[in-house]
């Protein structure tokens, strides 16, 4: 299973919005095949970029409030948060080089 | 060096792997990093694949095919092919992680990719109300009004599936007759939540952060109208994934890889193609599976005709094969 930490509706503000770090939230669900496919790729990116970006997961079935707040209509959705704001949105499962390219500004 | 590399992990790729593995060709199958399993991973009920009287879920069917291929010794890599050198005796396949694999034969079974409408804002709003996968994204449109564009079986299936979530589903088709099978047509036509808009094309998609509506044009009288909705599912067919072989393999007028008659042989010796990437007409899981068999048997026949020394240099013990 994924090495990424789970966040919830209850912990989102503390762990993501109020964090000093650059955090990518991976919105996913059990029934979402592409979510499962991209999960190990995100784990690898996180492992290779410790200190630059942190990756956490939010299950949209269990946490509808946060999913609705950010108007998630397609998953996997990977939103990058900095200082409480969404600074980048990546939608859909992509191969590792494509994701690294999308996240280049955070991985530099 | 190996005897055979299979590129693609849909029914064609896995069936080729099953036959090739059982013929002791020790195939390596490149399955894609995020799209392993092909198009059936994105569907729910598969009711027309023979052998399943009660139907089977798409992902379940693909996982079963994968397990069957692995049982007989297929090695599977979850990565993408980024380069191909197909000419000559030894074919070279380059992967996303930089590794290069060599083989005496290649079976190309990459299928086809969902076609886009090609209109402004379609890409911008992709994932924000525009989708190509009802089973993936239907969940997010509960009690909303949405539309499906298309007139084939996929469009009918998506529309019917989406009635589980949406309050209203428009089916927008640019003709006044459907391509879909009678069973699928009747199901959609008789569904009270589905309304058909005939002879219409989507010309605009509206919305800043999320889709709020679409503009449609009537193809008979050019009249325009706007429909308020939250989701647009595009189901207008698919384009064969041939970009990796442009300039190497001959293509047909429909853009599929050209094969010799009913064989899987391409214009390059030792290179075979199977599944939706060669079939612009039928494009069913079972026709793809059958064409995977053809490719495996063609590859086996080709290898049997090569010099013993050459094949011996490529023969490996199958990985994890059972008796």
Residues 76-95, chain A, touching B (beta carbon < 8 A): 77, 91-95
| Residues in chain B, overall count | 323
pLDDT band at A87 (very low <50, low <70, confident <90, very high): very high
Out of A31, A73, A92, the one facing B129 most closely (by C-beta) is: A73
- pTM score, two decimals? 0.82
Q: Does the pLDDT of residue B100 top 90, yes or no?
A: yes
- B106 vs B307, which has greater pLDDT? B106
A51 touches chain B (CB under 8 A): no
**Are domains B2-114+238-312 and B130-234 of this chain identical in fold?**
yes
pLDDT for position B323: 40
Query: What does the alpha-carbon distance between residue B292 and residue B296 come to, in Å, rounded to a whole number?
Result: 6
Peptide bond preceding A76 in cis form (omega within 30 of 0): yes
Cβ <8 Å between B96 and A96: yes
Out of A33, A38, A73, the one facing B140 most closely (by C-beta) is: A73
pLDDT for position A1: 61
State percent of chain B over pLDDT 70. 98
pLDDT band at B268 (very low <50, low <70, confident <90, very high): very high
Q: Does the pLDDT of residue B278 top 50, yes or no?
A: yes
Q: Does the pLDDT of residue B282 top 80, yes or no?
A: yes
Q: Which CATH number fits domain B130-234: 3.50.50.60, 2.60.40.10, 3.40.50.2300, 3.40.50.10890?
A: 3.50.50.60
Strand order in the sheet with B194-197: B130-131, B231-234, B145-149, B168-172, B194-197
pLDDT band at B283 (very low <50, low <70, confident <90, very high): confident
Q: Is B285 helix (H, G, I), strand (E, B) or coil?
A: helix
Task: Give the chain B residue nearest A33 (alpha carbons).
Answer: B41
Active site residues of A: 32, 35
Out of B34, B96, B139, the one facing A34 most closely (by C-beta) is: B34
B128 CA: distance to closest CA in chain A (Å): 6
Least confident of A86-90, B67-71, B128-132, B231-235: B128-132
Span B187-209, average pLDDT: 96
pLDDT for position B64: 96
B209 touches chain A (CB under 8 A): yes
- B20 vs B181, which has greater pLDDT? B20
Superfamily of domain B2-114+238-312 in the CATH hierarchy: FAD/NAD(P)-binding domain (3.50.50.60)
For chain A, what is the radius of gyration of the CA atoms? Answer: 12
Q: Which range scores top for mean pLDDT: A80-84, B123-127, B313-317?
A: A80-84
Residue B265 DSSP class: B
Count Cα neighbours of B6 within 13 Å in the Cβ-side half-sphere: 39
Domain boundaries, given as residue ranges, for chain A: 5-100
Rounded to 5 degrees, φ, ψ at B129 are 125, -25
B117 token code pair = 């409408």
Q: Does the pLDDT of residue B321 top 80, yes or no?
A: no
pLDDT for position B44: 74
- B269 vs B43, which has greater pLDDT? B269
Span B73-82, average pLDDT: 96
State percent of chain B over pLDDT 90. 79
Q: Which range scores top for mean pLDDT: B43-57, B67-81, B113-127?
A: B67-81
A74 touches chain B (CB under 8 A): yes
- Give chain A's mean pLDDT: 93
Q: Which residues contact B119 (CB under 8 A, 6 or more apart)?
A: B202, B203, B204, B205
Span B96-122, average pLDDT: 94
Residues of chain B contacting A102 with CB distance shorter than 8 Å = none
Q: Does the pLDDT of residue B318 top 80, yes or no?
A: no
Residues of chain B contacting A92 with CB distance shorter than 8 Å = 126-127
Q: Is B44 helix (H, G, I), strand (E, B) or coil?
A: coil
ipTM value of the model? 0.72
A54 token code pair = 């942190």
Superfamily of domain A5-100 in the CATH hierarchy: Glutaredoxin (3.40.30.10)
Output b/e per residue, B295-322; b: 16+ Cβ within 10 A. Answer: bbbbbbebbeebeeeeeeebeeebeeee
Residues of chain A contacting B35 with CB distance shorter than 8 Å = 34, 37, 93
Q: What is the pLDDT of residues B133-184, one digit of tens each?
A: 888 788 889 999 999 999 998 899 999 999 999 999 999 999 999 999 999 9
Helix (H) or strand (E) holding B273: strand B271-273
Task: Give the chain B residue nearest A91 (alpha carbons).
Answer: B127
pLDDT for position B316: 60
Span A61-78, average pLDDT: 94
Residue to substitute from B10, B60, B82, B127, interface A, most A β-carbons within 10 A: B127
Other CB atoms within 10 Å distance of the CB of residue B52 = 14
Q: What is the pLDDT of residues B291-315, one digit of tens each?
A: 999 999 999 999 999 988 888 888 8
């Amino acid at each position: 299973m994924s090495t990424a930490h789970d966040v919830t509706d209850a912990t989102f503000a503390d762990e993501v919005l109020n964090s000093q770090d650059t955090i990518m939230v991976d919105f996913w669900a059990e029934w979402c095949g592409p979510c499962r496919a991209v999960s190990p790729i995100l784990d690898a990116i996180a492992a290779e970029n410790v200190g630059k970006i942190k990756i956490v997961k939010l299950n949209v079935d269990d946490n509808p409030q946060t999913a609705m707040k950010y108007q998630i209509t397609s998953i996997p959705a990977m939103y990058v948060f900095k200082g409480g704001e969404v600074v980048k949105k990546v939608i859909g499962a992509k191969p590792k080089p494509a994701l690294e390219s999308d996240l280049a500004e955070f991985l530099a | 060096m190996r005897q055979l590399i299979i590129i693609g992990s849909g029914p064609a790729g896995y069936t080729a792997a099953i036959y090739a593995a059982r013929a002791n060709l020790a195939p390596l199958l490149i399955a894609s990093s995020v799209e392993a399993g092909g198009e059936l991973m994105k569907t729910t009920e598969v009711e027309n694949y023979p052998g399943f009287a009660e139907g089977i879920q798409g992902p379940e069917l693909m996982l079963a095919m994968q397990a069957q291929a692995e049982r007989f010794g297929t090695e599977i890599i979850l990565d993408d092919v980024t380069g191909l050198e197909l000419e000559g005796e030894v074919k070279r396949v380059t992967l996303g992680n930089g590794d290069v694999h060599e083989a005496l034969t290649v079976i190309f079974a990459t299928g086809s990719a969902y076609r886009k409408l090609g209109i402004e804002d379609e890409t911008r709003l992709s994932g924000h109300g525009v989708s190509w996968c009802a089973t993936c994204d239907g969940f997010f449109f509960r009690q909303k009004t949405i539309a499906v564009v298309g007139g084939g079986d996929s469009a009918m299936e998506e529309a019917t599936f989406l009635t589980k979530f949406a309050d209203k589903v428009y089916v927008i088709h640019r003709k006044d007759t459907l391509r879909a099978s009678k069973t699928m047509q009747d199901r959609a036509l008789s569904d009270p939540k589905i309304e058909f808009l005939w002879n219409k094309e989507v010309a605009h998609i509206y919305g800043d952060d999320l889709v709020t509506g679409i503009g449609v044009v009537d193809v008979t009288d050019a009249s325009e109208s706007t429909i308020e909705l939250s989701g647009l599912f595009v189901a207008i067919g698919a384009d064969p994934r041939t970009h990796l072989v442009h300039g190497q393999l001959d293509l047909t007028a429909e853009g599929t890889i050209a094969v010799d008659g009913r064989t899987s042989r391409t214009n390059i010796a030792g290179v075979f193609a199977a599944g939706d990437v060669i079939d612009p007409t039928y494009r069913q899981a079972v026709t793809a599976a059958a064409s995977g068999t053809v490719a495996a048997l063609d590859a086996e026949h080709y290898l049997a005709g090569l010099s013993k020394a050459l094949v011996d240099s490529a023969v490996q013990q199958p990985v994890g094969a059972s008796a």
